[in-house]
Amino acid sequence: MSLATIALVVVGFAGTTGSGSADGKKVPRPGAIAVHPVKFPDRYRPRPRQTPTVSYPIPWDRSH
């Protein structure tokens, strides 16, 4: 019985909350903002090569 009461309260609250604002006016839904198909104009442009951050060869003999 108590579960049925809780279910009715939840359904009642879900029915009273709408998409309108507090003064009862309808709020406009946002339109589509994405343009499909998505294009990447710089996709095939060659990228600059990264420069190494260390000089090679790295001396691994650290006994000096």
Q: How far is it, in rounded angstroms, from Cα 58 to Cα 36?
A: 49
Q: How far is it, in rounded angstroms, from Cα 42 to Cα 12?
A: 53
Q: How far is it, in rounded angstroms, from Cα 5 to Cα 12?
A: 10
Q: What is the pLDDT of residue 21?
A: 53
- pLDDT reading at 39 higher than 80: yes
pTM above 0.85, yes or no: no
Mean pLDDT of the chain: 76
Q: What is the SS3 string spanning the chain?
A: CHHHHHHHHHHHHHHHCCCECCCCCECCCCCCCCCCCCCCCCCCCCCCCCCCCCCCCCCCCCCC
Q: What is the pLDDT of residue 42?
A: 82
